[in-house]
Each structure stands twice: as C-alpha cells, then as structure tokens.
Amino acid sequence: MYLQRPNIAKKYFDLIRQHFSGKIFYLIHDLHYIRLFRQYNITHNKQKLKESKNSEKLEMKIFSKVDVIHVVGNYEYQILKEKLKKNYT
C-alpha cells in the first residue's frame, strides 16, 4: 500500500495498519518541511517557520512508522539518508 502526503498519512496510518497486513510504502514527492522553510526564507512569515518545524516532526514520525520510504529525488534522498542514518538503496 502506498501512502503520500503527510496530512493524509497521519489521518489513515493507524487504520491501514490495523486492517492491512502488507508493507506500507510512503512516497515522497518532496519534503514538505523544506518547502515550507523555503517559503519562510522568502516571505519571512513566522507562521511558515512554525509550519515547517511542525511538518518536519510529522514527516519524521511517519518515516519511522512505514516499512519503505520511496524517494523520488536525489536531493531528498541525501537529506533523509543523513537525518535517518540509514543506508537506503
């Protein structure tokens, strides 16, 4: 089963895990917390900084719960490799 988007994964993860016995993949189009942080850097809107920090916590929590993280881009791969200290291939 594939999950994407943190707000959707957060909402349905426990229900899926309860009723689905297969592996759960999480597909990353981009790291939302980085996108929000970039918006903060451009706008200096403190709400975007707060959203970025909250999004990072949520995304890291999701990554710790899924079986496989499917990363589309090399940039995100390098960040996750460092943050999660795992050897992804």
Phi, psi of 27 (to 5 degrees): -95, 125
Q: For residues 53 and 68, what is the distance between their CA atoms, to the nearest angstrom? A: 23
In this prediction, residue 82 carries a pLDDT of: 86
The β-bridge partners of 28 are 71
Walking along the chain (89 residues) 10 residues at a time, the average pLDDT comes out as 89 91 91 95 97 95 91 88 69
In this prediction, residue 26 carries a pLDDT of: 92
Domain ranges of the chain: 2-84
